[in-house]
Structure 1
Amino acid sequence: MPLPFLTADRAFDEAADDIALPYDDRDQWRRPYRPGPWRVGAAALLLLLASYILFAAVIIAFAGGLSGAVACGFGALLVIAAAIRLLRVGTWVSARGLRHVGFFVTRTVPWAQVVTVRTTQQPVRWLGLPRTVQGQALVLVRQGGETVAAPLLTDHSADFLARSEAFDRAADTVEAWADEYRAVA
């Protein structure tokens, strides 16, 4: 079963270096990078936990505790939904704008409101935890000079920790989308 939200378009990896935006259908929301190993590993652990909870629900149902089995099944569905949402977290681009998907909140900014997208050196959160370290971040500046509070990408996130070349490639791709569509908008 293909999971289109799990991987970036394979055309990105196979494209020549002179083609910055290799996507055919630019109206579709795409993540210009693959989820990192930390994010995929955390989602895999959540799915493993969900399988244990579902197994417990089956045992409880066979033991005659229907309400407990339903509660365990519902809990497993919540854990599965959290794993899927964790895999969708990131920065997505399309011809309509730029979308920053968080675990609880999704923000979409049309290209007409984007002034610049640039990489800066600043303190960033390590794996999304409260601890900050010095690193690179891709920040979005909207009209009026307002910088969006949360960076779009950081080199210490679950997608790019210890993968600096992947961060550089993803940041360059998002900047290329912004340069192309700011001119159109």
Structure 2
Amino acid sequence: MPLPFLTADRAFEAPGETSHDVALPFDDHDQWRRPYRPGPWRVGAAALLLLLASFILLAAVIIIFTGAVPEACLCLGLAVVLIVCALRLLRVGAWVSRHGLRRVRFLVTTTVPWDRATAVRTVQQPVRWLGLPRTVQGQALVLVQRDGEQLQLLTDHNADFLFRVEAFDRAADTVEAWGDEYRPVPSL
């Protein structure tokens, strides 16, 4: 089964080219794409959830052999919930297409069309460390909308970019390039 989210960085680094040479490497710009790989913290957390789900599924099989079907169904339901959580955790991040920019969080997805965006830029500001309440000084990629509201897309201290400054810079540059390509030029 192809996993396109694992090949996102390779699309930007073709032999002899750097990520600055090819800003929008995909042929179909109508599909929603995450222009970076999920980080090791996010993948590790999802892997732990899937490992826990596999143990619960094994427990459900053992419980079925003992004849306690309602308890086995409860274990099966819990395992399915953990698998869905792991898959959703892997989808969290910033996604781009010709239609706009989409910020996917664990429970909420926000889509902003390019015509409602005025700027996509990297700013220095306090950011949350791994999504926890603790804040540290860092960089954030924000989308500024026409009504002045700012939507924080990525930070250099989230689960995708913690201790990976170069990956954050490359992802921020790529999202900014998508914004420059598809955001309408303001008329004077």
Would you call these one fold, judging by a TM-score over 0.5? yes
Aligned to 1:64: 67
CA–CA distance in structure 2, aligned partners of residues 22 and 99 of structure 1: 19
- Picking from 99, 104, 107, the partner of 1:104 is 107
Equivalent AA in structure 1 for residue 111 of structure 2? T
CA–CA distance in structure 2, aligned partners of residues 47 and 6 of structure 1: 18
CA–CA distance in structure 1, aligned partners of residues 70 and 158 of structure 2: 40
- Check the 8 A contact 2:5/2:37 in 1, yes or no: no
CA–CA distance in structure 1, aligned partners of residues 24 and 112 of structure 2: 19
Moved over 4 A (4+): none
Q: TM-score, normalised by structure 1?
A: 0.94
- Could you list the runs of 5+ residues in structure 2 that have no partner in the other structure? none
- Could you list the runs of 5+ residues in structure 1 that have no partner in the other structure? none
* Superposed displacement of residue 6, structure 1: 5.0
* Superposed displacement of residue 5, structure 1: 4.4
* Superposed displacement of residue 127, structure 1: 0.4
Aligned to 1:82: 85
CA–CA distance in structure 1, aligned partners of residues 90 and 8 of structure 2: 12
CA–CA distance in structure 2, aligned partners of residues 112 and 183 of structure 1: 6
Aligned to 1:11: 11
Aligned to 1:173: 174
Deviation track 1:11-48 (CA, whole Å, cap 9, x = no partner) reads 12325432211111100100000000000000000000
Aligned to 2:56: 53
* Superposed displacement of residue 164, structure 1: 0.1
Residues 121-136 of structure 1: pairs in structure 2 closer than 5 A: 121-136=124-139
CA–CA distance in structure 1, aligned partners of residues 185 and 4 of structure 2: 27
Task: Provide the aligned C-alpha RMSD in A.
Answer: 1.5
What secondary structure does 2:140 align onto?
Answer: strand
Q: How many residues align?
A: 183
- Check the 8 A contact 2:56/2:75 in 1, yes or no: yes
* Superposed displacement of residue 3, structure 1: 2.6
Equivalent AA in structure 1 for residue 77 of structure 2? F
CA–CA distance in structure 1, aligned partners of residues 139 and 86 of structure 2: 27
- Check the 8 A contact 1:115/1:142 in 2, yes or no: yes
Aligned to 1:155: 156
- Check the 8 A contact 2:156/2:168 in 1, yes or no: yes
